[in-house]
Amino acid sequence: MSDQRAMAQEDSVTVIRPYQPGDEAACRACMLELQDSERRFDQRLRPGESMVDAYVAQMHTYCREYAGTIFMAERCGEVIGLVMVLAHVPFEALDEPPDEYALVAELVVRDGFRRAGIARALLDTAESYAREAGASELRIDVLSQNTPARTLYIREGFAPYKETLAKSLMH
């Protein structure tokens, strides 16, 4: 796979490239926006500012542990999104397949750049990375109420596999 993938968009080009030194602030901004966006679906989630620094550090740890990487979407020198893919995540429970899978652990496109094919390009890059790393299955998690993301993932070939249903016991 090429280290950079370019995608033409309205007189500008979006480049998908590997995370590099100097991307720390942009990665933080993406994850802050994602966390605060997901809080619209579940108010119990921590505010982005309270967890983002530790979470970004955890992302890098997961990349080291599970043969993962982060790809950045950049347009005109500005990072507008990212995807983190882990290539070798082991199934851990005895009632799961005795193998491993690849996981799109994070996917975010910054507000103002959505609905332009950038998430699709990031997913394609993650899929290529996982395939080249020898993964036979790619998974992605989504909050059930996040209809736009869920619709995209299904359109891109992901199928529901297992659902966790939750019931609040607080009245």
Which domains occur in the chain, in start order? Answer: 5-155 (3.40.630.30)
- Distinct helix (H) and strand (E) counts, the chain: 4, 6
Q: How far apart are CA 146 and CA 137, in angstroms?
A: 23
Q: What is the pLDDT of residue 8?
A: 47
The predicted-structure confidence for 117-139, as pLDDT tens digits, reads as follows 999 999 999 999 999 999 999 99
Q: How far apart are CA 35 and CA 52, in angstroms?
A: 8
pTM for this structure?
0.90
Q: What is the pLDDT of residue 6?
A: 56
| Band of pLDDT at residue 171, cut at 50, 70 and 90 | confident
Q: How far apart are CA 112 and CA 146, in angstroms?
A: 18
Residue among 97, 104, 96 at smallest CA distance from 121: 104
Q: How far apart are CA 149 and CA 114, in angstroms?
A: 11
Q: 3-state DSSP call for residue 99?
A: coil
The helix or strand, by DSSP H or E, that contains position 55, with its residue range, turns out to be: helix 48-65
Q: How far apart are CA 72 and CA 122, in angstroms?
A: 8
Q: What is the pLDDT of residue 7?
A: 54
The predicted-structure confidence for 153-164, as pLDDT tens digits, reads as follows 999 999 999 888
Q: At what angle do helices 48-65 and 24-38 cross, to 10 degrees?
A: 120
Q: Hey, which residues does 86 pair with through a beta bridge?
A: 68, 103
Q: Is the pLDDT of residue 152 over 50?
A: yes
Q: 3-state DSSP call for residue 151?
A: helix
